[in-house]
Amino acid sequence: VTIKFCRVVFNTKKGIVIKKAAQVIIEDTTCSDNGDHGMRLEADGSLVSITRCIMQRNKDGMHVHPKSNNPQLTITLLNCLLSDNREEGIQNHAKNPIVIVNHCTVVNNGSHGFDFSNGTGWVKNTIMAFNGGYGLMGGGSGSGDYNLLYGNTSGSTFNFTAGSNDVNSDPEFYGGGDYHINYISLAIDAGTGDIFDDLEGATRCGPAVDIGCYEPPIQTFHVRKRVNDANHGLSPAQTG
Q: What pLDDT score was predicted for residue 205? A: 87
Of 153, 167, 76, 88, the residue nearest 120 (C-alpha): 76
Q: What pLDDT score was predicted for residue 11? A: 98
Quote the CA–CA distance of 73 and 46 in Å, as a whole number.
4
Q: What pLDDT score was predicted for residue 235? A: 61
Of 135, 104, 97, the residue nearest 118 (C-alpha): 97
Q: What pLDDT score was predicted for residue 72? A: 77
Task: Enumerate residue ranges in the chain where pLDDT < 70.
Answer: 140, 217-240
Q: What pLDDT score was predicted for residue 69? A: 80
Q: Which residues contact 105 (CB under 8 A, 6 or more apart)?
A: 80, 81, 82, 83, 126, 127, 179, 212, 213, 214
Q: What pLDDT score was predicted for residue 226? A: 59
**C-alpha dist (Å) from residue 181 to 28, 35, 136, 155, 178:** 20, 29, 20, 21, 8
Of 44, 58, 72, the residue nearest 16 (C-alpha): 58
Q: What pLDDT score was predicted for residue 23? A: 93
- Burial code (b: 16+ CB inside 10 Å, e: under 16) for 14-49 equals bbbebeebeebebbbbbbbebebbbbbbbbbbeebb
Q: What pLDDT score was predicted for residue 80? A: 98
DSSP 135-189: EEE-SSEEEEES-EEE--TTEEEESSB--TT-B-S---EEETTEEEEPTT-TTTT
